[in-house]
A and B are shown apart, each in its own frame.
Chain A
């Protein structure tokens, strides 16, 4: 990715609310940004460390409920509740992560599913704390902050909230990019490719896996906090098993282990959700089929083959211009 493409992407992101204003487009954009945080943090686990987790929705929910309850019942300001929610989610992840790494492969996935269902049941049944099936209502949006030189920025509006979420999304993605290209990222990929060899090379897979699992879950918790204060509402259905499967599908669709893949997957699935938002059953049915098709035909996700196709077309066009006609590929 050239640097100018990155700048273009950020510029589009910054200018977007000028088009979207207070309307539905901005709402959609905020949702996509929040889910990009989720998908990219899940991608560090699935794509770079080889830990397939179907519990990301649970951590998302833990963050959302923690933040919502802290602000609503204990009167904490949003800016205090957000890091606490992330830290608490990370703490829970530490508790579940360390024992669960004794299992491997399918067993590990099943442990994550069991954890997701336990979390869902707690969201659904602990009325006193979570409001149960009625949901947690009236979680307030954060107030305004003063930015020197610009003035007051209020987060009550979607316009303002967009910039808050955008800032987090940008910072988190830059951070993830740093991790991937750091020695830590290389170690994670070594563990993904062959855990025994990684162990033999002097890495301690368990501590790496624990660290990255806690980090990714804390990021999911942070996304949950952003989401709850955006919707001003939390409900068990927003953090259910199916949300975890959605997230999983987003990462697979875009391409696990690619940096831009998961956000791209989020974009595609959110578009599908928009078109089919009145037909939940049909959408989930299609998601099921999509999972099967992707795992059979596109295990690398959509983005890689698409960009390869782009390269090939481009090199064909260029070679035609040069008149040499030979195809060197890439």
Chain B
């Protein structure tokens, strides 16, 4: 029972990280960036090759994955979204789906379809908690990294000049632009930040579980479930939603069904979108258009 909750919380932490990267890009730039699923996959591969080919330790590998995904994220923004800035959200969403499919299949083309796992021998031990709960060290690391990433994001957005610019763009893009906020640079920074976080999430999943090229679309949709659960644009909501969905998933998997493992979360998504589109934690603002 406690074990199930703990497993759920660990998954929830990763989901929360993905959801935050999705929600910051959406709330600042209005881009529903499902391409982050592809970044997530590439982040896992980045971490894997950093550990196996460059022989660096996992922490540095994670930073490398984050940095390279930030660069990739900026390139994607320039290629796939910059020209669509005046377009509808639907158009950007289509482009994002294009990015997701292209990235996933590029990974398949480059590295094949086998399932891999990032080896982290330093963390190959298990904490035994009272009550017989097993907590692998890797999972503890996940909590720490996710916590650090969220803190880092918080300080960046609240305390730096660029963070201020981001908030300005999120509030009123036209006004921000009139006052001289460089939209292109804000967009690049936002994409870099979101992509770095998705990359870290990928590397963490790659190290604590297994990964393959096709995990991106599912995980980004799950992250979206979390975003919707928590209320769009709310980072705190994304964190709470992440833990919630993680625990719900974990319970379904253990006690209800392991065959239909996504059925519950996707049904939940449809239900929330239909019944309470502002999310469980978001205040009722009327229907998002």
Contacts and interface: CB of A to CB of B under 8 A. Distances in A.
Contacts of B93: 106, 109
Contact of B100 (A103, A105, A288): A288
4 smallest CB-CB distances across A and B, nearest first, come from: A288-B102, A291-B98, A288-B101, A292-B98
A99 B98 contact: no
Contact of A291 (B94, B103, B218): B94
Interface string A111-138: 1011101100110010000000000000
Given A295-B98, A296-B83, A117 B262 contact: yes
Given A102-B274, A118-B267, A285-B109, 11 more contacts: A104-B287, A106-B93, A117-B266, A118-B266, A122-B260, A245-B101, A281-B109, A289-B98, A289-B102, A292-B95, A296-B83
Contacts of B83: 296
A245 B34 CA distance: 14
A107 B84 contact: no
5 contacts: A103-B287, A121-B260, A285-B105, A289-B98, A292-B95
B93 to A, nearest CB: 5
A245 B83 CA distance: 22
B124 interface: no
Interface in B102-125: 102-106, 108-109
Judged by DSSP, the binding face of B is helix
B273 interface: yes
Contacts of B180: none
A241 interface: yes
Which secondary structure dominates chain A's binding surface? helix
Contact of A107 (B91, B97, B102, B273): B273
Which of A96, A102, A106, A289 is packed against the most chain B CB atoms within 10 Å? A106
Contacts of A110: 221, 224, 269, 273
Given A106-B32, A288-B99, A295-B84, A100 B269 contact: no
Interface string A86-109: 000000000010011011111101
B270 interface: yes
B274 A99 contact: yes
Interface string B245-283: 000000000000001111100110110011001000000
Contact of A118 (B101, B218, B224, B263): B263
Interface residues of B, number: 44
Most chain A beta carbons < 10 A, residue from B79, B89, B97, B103: B97
A72 interface: no
A23 interface: no
B160 interface: no
A125 B101 contact: no
Interface of B: 32, 79-80, 83-84, 87-91, 93-95, 97-106, 108-109, 217-218, 221, 224, 259-263, 266-267, 269-270, 273-274, 277, 287-289
A285 B288 contact: no
B89 A106 contact: yes
A233 interface: no
Nearest to A112: B270
Which of B32, B89, B270 gathers most chain A CB within 10 Å?
Answer: B270
A104 B289 contact: yes
A245 B274 contact: no
A292 B89 contact: no
Contacts of A242: 101
A103 B277 contact: yes
Contacts of B260: 121-122, 125
Given A105-B289, A285-B106, A289-B102, A114 B266 contact: yes
Contact of A114 (B87, B91, B94, B269): B269
Interface residues on A, range: 35 or more
A319 to B, nearest CB: 35
Contacts of B221: 110, 113-114, 117
Nearest to B102: A288
B89 A105 contact: yes
Contacts of B79: 292
Contact of B274 (A111, A121, A288): A111
Contact of A100 (B91, B263, B270, B287): B270
A106 to B, nearest CB: 5
A117 B37 CA distance: 15
A284 interface: yes
B273 A103 contact: yes
A171 B212 CA distance: 44
A284 B84 contact: no
B273 A296 contact: no
Contacts of B32: 106
A282 B102 CA distance: 9
A33 interface: no
Contacts of B269: 110-111, 114
A34 to B, nearest CB: 23
B232 to A, nearest CB: 9
A118 B108 CA distance: 24
A47 to B, nearest CB: 13
B91 A299 contact: yes
A289 B91 CA distance: 14
Nearest to B261: A121
A241 B98 contact: no
Given A105-B289, A109-B90, A296 B84 contact: yes
A115 B274 CA distance: 13
A219 B210 CA distance: 40
A105 B91 CA distance: 10
A122 B262 CA distance: 10
A272 interface: no
B109 A282 contact: yes
